[in-house]
Structure 1
Amino acid sequence: MKRLFDLLLALIALIVLSIPLFFLGLLVKFTSKGPILYWSDRVGRNNLIFSMPKLRSMQIDTPAVATHLLNQPDRYLTSIGGFLRRTSLDELPQLWSIIKGDMSFVGPRPALFNQDDLIALRSQCGVHHLMPGLTGWAQINGRDDLPTLQKVEYDIEYLQKKSFGFDLYLLGLTFVRVICREGVSH
């Protein structure tokens, strides 16, 4: 049921958002050098690596590490990168990852391939068996502001509570958080 819901919602969202995505892509292209999309190697279900697209919000020479690990991360943002990140519009291409089956709408956010501490903790707790999501319980409860251990605690709680109803609840909360721009540091 979850996969069918994800597929239908992602297809509808992609159709509805295709024109805004086109214009956002043009903005990225005309405001900085490099490709429109940034393909990030991420850890998916069962710790398998997949490539996740995002609208490029950082300069092309930015190191491939979590933003909070960068020294002065704002200096790597493109001229519209801050806007894309604050509004979470940079995440819209991940609808492709949902359609493809690499992600779900709700689940733990996929770790970067080099976030060894997060990957190890999730694996110890069985969270790595979950499909990663566009949003998740940790996203709702702090997003970029959470330390790794606390993210994993929320991931475990999601694993224990997961249901279609809980996913719908988290999608609704995500919409509110994005509109209010809560928990976004860059």
Structure 2
Amino acid sequence: MATPVDNPDQNHGAASDLPRTGPWWRHRPGWGLKRLFDLSASLVGLLLLSPLLAAVALAIRVQMGSPVLFRQERPGYRGAPFILTKFRTMRDAAEGEVWFRSDGERVTWLGRFLRRSSIDELPELLNVIRGEMSLVGPRPLLMEYLDKYTPEEMRRHDTPPGITGWAQVNGRQNIPFSERFRLDVWYVEHWSMALDLKILFRTFYDVSKRSDVVVGQNVDEVDDLGLSADRVRSDRAEEGESE
């Protein structure tokens, strides 16, 4: 487990001291290499995974109909909004009598499989290619939470959001949100390409073991920050699904 940042001023390369204009990969030494790796790996990944992506899209269309993809506005680098893209995993709330069901009940068996295997996240490679995300970084939560973060928690946006991150390989939903935010800030302050590669390796290992995945988490179980319940709603605090 990483040690949270005790004194941010003692850490090197703080992104909060860097320029705010232009693409994020020009704002910190080494981020150009991070961007090159992101772009190369994402393009290769999409090419190799294209048969799987097509099969998943067809399966979603057959079971749940259109749309196949779920899109939602999320905060990116410095909090700038972008449209995150994932595979859809939940039935439409207006579909028949399903409107009264909880989010956990609306997740289909296919959706549960996609979440457990993290296949639902694969369309985010498009966000990476467009430069809106990185392969590794803090997970983008919901736009409405921005005004509820403390100044320290806001520092998690001093790096581009990622498909996986330091918090995800150190507990994911099994640790309180306050700890996840501390881990996100720790990552921002201690970033290196070696750390990114370590996180990617651990992510592949965790996914292969299908570990650390929670579906249908209750707000009372995760909101340990003393904030109003609308800060974290069900498992969507991470997943953000409101289909």
TM-score by length of 2: 0.69
Identity %: 37
Deviates more, 1:16-25 or 1:108-117: 108-117
Distance in 2 between the 1:122 and 1:157 partners?
14
1:112 to 124, 142, 157: 142
Structure 2 counterpart of 1:166: 195
1:80 to 110, 128, 144: 110
Structure 1 counterpart of 2:87: 55
List structure 1 runs of 4+ shifted beyond 4 angstroms.
Answer: 122-125
- Cα separation, partners in 2 of 1:72 and 1:102, compared to 1, 3 Å: same
Structure 1 counterpart of 2:43: 11
Per the TM alignment, residue 123 of structure 1 is displaced from its structure 2 partner at its CA by 5.8
Per the TM alignment, residue 4 of structure 1 is displaced from its structure 2 partner at its CA by 0.5
2:132 to 102, 115, 119: 102
Post-superposition CA distance 1:127-165 (Å, at most 9, x none): 211100011000111212232211111011111221000
Unaligned runs of 5+ in 2: 1-32, 95-100, 216-243
Q: Which has the larger radius of gyration?
A: 2
- Give yes or no for contact 2:153–2:181 (8 Å, CA) kept in 1: no
- Cα separation, partners in 2 of 1:27 and 1:56, compared to 1, 3 Å: same
Unaligned runs of 5+ in 1: 63-70
TM-score by length of 1: 0.89
Distance in 2 between the 1:20 and 1:85 partners?
15
- Give yes or no for contact 1:33–1:60 (8 Å, CA) kept in 2: no
Would you say 1:26 and 2:58 are equivalent positions?
Answer: yes
Post-superposition CA distance 1:95-127 (Å, at most 9, x none): 00000000001110111222347x623665522
Structure 2 counterpart of 1:67: none
Deviates more, 1:140-149 or 1:10-19: 140-149
Distance in 1 between the 2:133 and 2:109 partners?
29
Give the letter aligned to residue 84 of structure 2.
Answer: M
Give the letter aligned to residue 49 of structure 1.
Answer: P
Per the TM alignment, residue 79 of structure 1 is displaced from its structure 2 partner at its CA by 3.4
Alignment of 1:90-169 (within 5 A): 90-116=120-146, 120-121=149-150, 124=153, 126-169=155-198
